[in-house]
A = this chain, B = another copy of it.
Amino acid sequence: MPNHTASPSGPGLPGRRGQAARNDEAIVAAAREVFLADPKAPVSAVAARAGVGISALYRRYGGKEDLLRQVCHDGLRRYIAEAEAALEHADGWAAFTGFLAAVVDADVHSLTVHLAGSFTPTEEMGADAARSGELTAELVARARESGRLRAGFTAEDVTLVLEGCAAVRFPDPGRTRALRRRYLALVVRGVDAGAEGAADLPGPPATAEELGWRWSRRL
């Protein structure tokens, strides 16, 4: 979609161009919401939620899979961004817990978990996934340096925690977020070192391979 005019692009424009720009955003937002609620939702549901015709959607994406990939990749990028932002903190523990809260709030993990496997990933996504893994490991390493991280807790466990938080879901998004925070607070205290009952975590943590299973295409 080449921009024929020199005018600034964006949703502020009037007329067809403006509508198009607005639709760009409405569609991704709708896709995010709809597919988050149900990864198998029909494409038409996304269009309806965006208040848009189906053709407006197909003009932008080659097909359903494209859309899914896009939404999922956006989530992955968001995860990376949050991790990088958190790494700015000098305090490793604050960085770690802040990161968890941010990711939970953004509902990013829910997205990845539910959507992965429903499309064939691109190379770039693979690279981003690898990078997200590195960043997570870095965050965990820094948290450990701070001395507050419970012994035996690994970067792979982060995934489980995020997954657990993503599992609390309610019809009202606001309530969902509030309850996730509550739940996260619970879990974080379980992760905190230096408390009583800090026996070793049972069993070995998940391996990267086990976690990677999500990305393999199912069905």
Contact = CB atoms under 8 A, between A and B. Distances in A.
B186 A191 contact: yes
A167 B167 CA distance: 6
Interface stretch (A20-28, A78-86, A134-142, A174-182): A174-182
A170 B40 CA distance: 20
A147 interface: no
Interface string A116-160: 000000000000000000000000000000000010010001001
A40 to B, nearest CB: 7
Contact of A186 (B165, B166, B201): B201
Contacts of A150: 186, 189
Given A168-B163, A195-B195, A195-B197, A205 B190 contact: no
A219 to B, nearest CB: 9
A205 to B, nearest CB: 7
A53 interface: no
B181 A203 contact: yes
Nearest to A166: B167
Interface string A182-201: 11011111111011111101
Copies of chain A in the complex: 2
Contacts of A98: none
Given A189-B189, A190-B190, A192-B196, A182 B201 contact: yes
Nearest to A164: B164
A175 B210 CA distance: 9
29 contacts: A157-B182, A157-B183, A160-B168, A160-B182, A161-B186, A163-B167, A163-B168, A164-B183, A167-B167, A170-B206, A170-B210, A178-B204, A179-B203, A179-B205, A179-B206, A182-B201, A182-B203, A185-B199, A185-B201, A185-B202, A186-B191, A186-B201, A187-B187, A188-B190, A189-B189, A189-B198, A190-B190, A192-B195, A194-B196
Q: Can you list the 6 inter-chain pairs with the closest CB atoms, starting with the nearest?
A: A190-B190, A164-B164, A195-B195, A167-B167, A189-B190, A186-B190
Given A170-B210, A170-B213, 4 more contacts: A160-B179, A160-B182, A164-B167, A181-B203
